């Protein structure tokens, strides 16, 4: 089972000091947080995608491309890639490039986001959110899987003989998750393609997440990708920890009360009761998150939100250390002990997907050079011709 952290990249005033970081400081802090998570031994770092204040991660691939060169082991991902308002041609190019740069150490999560005005900002209609998600993703898949694409749809201009570059690493596209908290159509889409489904239940009772995951599992099996309990599932959550729960609650309360994502509403105690938010000791986090399997079945990825609400960088790094040293080893051991042998331990790695594609005969024959589809020539042909002239 994989454990990681995700950032929504909010720029929030620290309520205990009154200090607000600027955008530059916040971006650089997120990079530091991701690098620290890698050094601490966590499995995944994911960034959201937002195009409005108070959030800064407007270019996930820029951030993740930098991290690909400055981290060693951690999987780089997105907490949301906006499939509805990004051009699927651009997504195909950017994430294939990230896949190449990171040597396959990445995946991504498609979502529609939670900011309504982003649709008109990028020339789209929010009323078409679900149709956009379905059509854009279908085109993205074709751009990754087919070298030459002829395509016509409803929401963008047609494509004729188009080849997206660079091609996916080893001929195998990145692994894709679909994220949704309320739309069964997105769970259905994930199941149809055999992709992963992540329910980021940070604002919802786990009972709701369990219903969505159960639906996804049922449809995953319906489409012939395996048994329902073999479907690839992820959950989102959020924690704040100190050695004892009283200290954790006292320290985190002012941040909770002023957070742009949930402050000024239900109390922290109500959120802790009704959502996965857990503020307390490491053992309380272990006890609570270890029981999630009882409601959703064995799942492959657990993500934690830890750097939000104006928490200082030093505090966030301390939280990562507590998570990596005291919580994750126990949860990982318990999850593995409870996992049935036929259920995947985690989402498939790039190497595993390449091996599976080869075993299924889905990869094209290896070539030594890329061929121009219009002239039929390769780079080697041009080199040989130049050599002939010089001789």
pLDDT one-digit tens code per residue, 116-167: 787 787 788 878 888 999 999 999 999 999 999 999 999 999 999 999 999 9
The count of other CB atoms within 10 Å of the CB of residue 72 is 8
Mean pLDDT of 189-203: 92
For the chain, what percent of residues have pLDDT higher than 90?
Answer: 77
pLDDT band at 384 (very low <50, low <70, confident <90, very high): low
Considering the entire predicted model, what is its pTM? 0.90
CA–centroid distance for 147 within its chain: 25
For the chain, what percent of residues have pLDDT higher than 70?
Answer: 92
pLDDT band at 386 (very low <50, low <70, confident <90, very high): very low
Contact 208/87 with Cβ under 8 angstroms? Answer: no
Region for residue 224 given its phi and psi (left: phi exceeds 0; alpha: psi -120 to 50; beta: otherwise): left
CA–centroid distance for 113 within its chain: 12
pLDDT at residue 115 tops 80: no
Contact 279/252 with Cβ under 8 angstroms? Answer: yes
User: What kind of fold does domain 2-390 have according to CATH?
Assistant: TIM Barrel (3.20.20)
- Convert the pLDDT of each residue in 237-251 to its tens digit: 999 999 999 999 999
Of 252, 248, 279, 262, the C-alpha closest to 203 is 262
Give the model's pLDDT for residue 324: 98
Mean pLDDT of 193-213: 90
Q: What is the rounded distance in angstroms from the CA atom of residue 375 to the CA atom of residue 295?
A: 57
Give the model's pLDDT for residue 381: 55
Cβ-based neighbours of 49, under 8 Å, separated by 6 or more: 57, 58, 60, 78, 79, 80, 81, 82, 113
Domain coordinates of the chain in residue numbers?
2-390
Q: What is the rounded distance in angstroms from the CA atom of residue 258 to the CA atom of residue 276?
A: 19
- The Cα-based distances of 189 to 59, 122, 215, 223, 272 in angstroms read 25, 23, 11, 11, 31
Give the model's pLDDT for residue 270: 93
What does the CA dihedral 227, 180, 51, 40 come to, rounded to 10 degrees?
A: -60
Residues pairing with 233 in the sheet: 197
Q: Can you tell me which residue has the tokens 């991660």? A: 57
Q: What is the rounded distance in angstroms from the CA atom of residue 36 to the CA atom of residue 321?
A: 9
- Convert the pLDDT of each residue in 1-54 to its tens digit: 999 999 999 999 999 999 999 999 999 999 999 999 999 999 999 999 888 888
pLDDT at residue 183 tops 80: yes
Give the model's pLDDT for residue 253: 96
Q: What is the rounded distance in angstroms from the CA atom of residue 131 to the CA atom of residue 49?
A: 20
* Beta strands at 2-7 and 278-280: parallel, antiparallel or unpaired: unpaired
Which H or E element spans position 245?
A: helix 245-258
Give the model's pLDDT for residue 261: 74
pLDDT at residue 376 tops 70: no
Mean pLDDT of 359-368: 68
- Convert the pLDDT of each residue in 297-356 to its tens digit: 999 999 999 999 999 999 999 999 999 999 999 999 999 999 999 999 999 999 999 999
Cβ-based neighbours of 312, under 8 Å, separated by 6 or more: 14
More confident call, 374 vs 178: 178
Residues pairing with 208 in the sheet: none
Contact 339/166 with Cβ under 8 angstroms? Answer: no
pLDDT at residue 252 tops 80: yes
Give the model's pLDDT for residue 50: 86
pLDDT at residue 375 tops 50: no
Q: At what angle do helices 184-193 and 206-222 cross, to 10 degrees?
A: 40
């Amino acid at each position: 089972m994989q454990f990681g952290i995700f950032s929504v990249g909010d720029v929030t005033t620290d309520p205990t000091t009154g200090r607000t970081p600027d955008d530059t400081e916040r971006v650089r802090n997120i990079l530091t947080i991701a690098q620290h998570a890698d050094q601490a031994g966590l499995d995944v770092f994911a960034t959201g995608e937002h195009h409005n204040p108070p959030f800064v991660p407007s270019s996930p691939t820029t951030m993740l491309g930098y991290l690909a060169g400055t981290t060693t082991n951690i999987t780089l991902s997105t907490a949301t890639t906006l499939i509805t308002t990004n051009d699927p041609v651009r997504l195909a190019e950017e994430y294939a490039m990230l896949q190449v740069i990171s040597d396959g150490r990445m995946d991504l999560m498609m979502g529609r986001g939670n900011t309504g005005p982003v649709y008109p900002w990028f020339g789209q209609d929010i009323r078409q959110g679900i149709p956009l998600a379905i059509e854009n993703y279908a085109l993205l898949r074709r751009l990754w899987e087919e070298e030459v694409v002829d395509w016509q749809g409803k929401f963008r201009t047609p494509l004729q003989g188009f080849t997206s570059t660079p091609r996916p690493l080893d001929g195998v596209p990145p692994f894709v998750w679909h994220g949704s908290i309320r739309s069964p159509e997105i769970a259905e889409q994930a199941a149809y393609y055999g992709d992963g489904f992540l329910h980021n239940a940070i604002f919802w009772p786990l009972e709701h997440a369990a219903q969505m995951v159960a639906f996804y599992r049922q449809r995953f099996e319906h489409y012939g990708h395996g048994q329902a309990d073999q479907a690839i599932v992820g959950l989102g959550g959020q924690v704040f920890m100190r050695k004892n729960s009283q200290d954790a609650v006292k320290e985190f309360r002012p941040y909770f009360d002023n957070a742009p994502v949930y402050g000024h509403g239900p109390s922290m105690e109500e959120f802790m009761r009704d959502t996965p938010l857990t503020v307390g000791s490491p053992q309380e986090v272990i006890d609570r998150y270890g029981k999630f399997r009882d409601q959703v079945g064995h799942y492959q990825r657990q993500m934690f939100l830890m750097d939000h609400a104006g928490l200082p960088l030093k505090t966030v790094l301390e939280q990562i250390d507590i998570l990596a040293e005291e919580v994750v080893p126990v949860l990982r051991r318990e999850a593995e002990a409870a996992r049935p042998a036929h259920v995947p331990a985690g989402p498939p790695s790039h190497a595993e997907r390449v091996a599976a594609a080869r075993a299924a005969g889905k990869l094209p024959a290896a070539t030594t050079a890329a061929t121009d589809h219009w002239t039929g020539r390769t780079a080697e042909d041009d080199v040989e011709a130049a050599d002939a002239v010089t001789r």
